[in-house]
A and B are shown apart, each in its own frame.
Chain A
Amino acid sequence: SAVISQKPSRDICQRGTSLTIQCQVDSQVTMMFWYRQQPGQSLTLIATANQGSEATYESGFVIDKFPISRPNLTFSTLTVSNMSPEDSSIYLCSVEGADGETQYFGPGTRLLVL
């Protein structure tokens, strides 16, 4: 399984500001994913990020609010723009396993917007 790290691990931000979350993998992966886990809720897929192409967003998520970069096969960023308290969540990145059958998750970034 891949080793995935995220930065920051947690943050407290002011309304109207933006935060960029980094996801680093210890091996090259084709598919990376960003999820949101709102307090007490399950995980919802925000977007799929392929290296060298634009991210594919799920219904209810737009690029202006959640711009994503995927500059190489081991790294991705998710920006939460113009934040409001409703954006308070855990944001997790995941990668497709080498077997193509699984996804492995990072430790998450816990975001609180005041």
Chain B
Amino acid sequence: GEDVEQSLFLSVREGDSSVINCTYTDSSSTYLYWYKQEPGAGLQLLTYIFSNMDMKQDQRLTVLLNKKDKHLSLRIADTQTGDSAIYFCAESIRGTYKYIFGTGTRLKVLA
């Protein structure tokens, strides 16, 4: 079945780059997404990538997709304390409206 996995925790120093990784199993996914959840809040869509693309850049965010290895990553450049949150990757399942979410990576940015 479909499964999306992420490492649980990541800690970085302010100003460094953060790289959050995600692996998925469903090769028929159409889009892959990164969402951010701050404490006590809902999910904020950060960026997404079409499954036939390798890379997408949006300001401080860079998404890399390795479709062969079913590996997705989110790089945050110049990480700030305001980036501390839980980051979820998700894939959309082709032919459905269903999203499969990863377990979430808790990013802690140290001042």
Contacts and interface: CB of A to CB of B under 8 A. Distances in A.
Interface of A: 1, 4, 31, 33, 41-45, 48, 58, 92, 94, 96, 101-108, 110
B96 to A, nearest CB: 9
B45 A43 contact: no
B95 to A, nearest CB: 13
Contact of A1 (B42, B45, B101, B103): B45
Contact of A42 (B31, B44, B103): B103
Nearest to A104: B45
Interface residues of B, number: 19
Contact of B42 (A44, A48, A96, A105): A105
4 smallest CB-CB distances across A and B, nearest first, come from A105-B43, A107-B42, A43-B101, A42-B101
A33 B88 contact: no
Contact of B48 (A31, A96, A101): A101
B41 interface: yes
Given A42-B103, A43-B88, A31 B97 contact: yes
B108 to A, nearest CB: 15
Contacts of B103: 41-42
Given A42-B101, A42-B104, A45-B98, A101 B43 contact: no
A106 B42 contact: yes
27 contacts: A42-B101, A42-B102, A42-B104, A43-B43, A43-B88, A43-B99, A45-B98, A45-B99, A48-B97, A48-B98, A92-B42, A92-B43, A101-B31, A101-B48, A102-B31, A102-B33, A102-B45, A102-B48, A103-B45, A103-B99, A105-B42, A105-B43, A105-B45, A106-B42, A107-B41, A108-B42, A110-B40
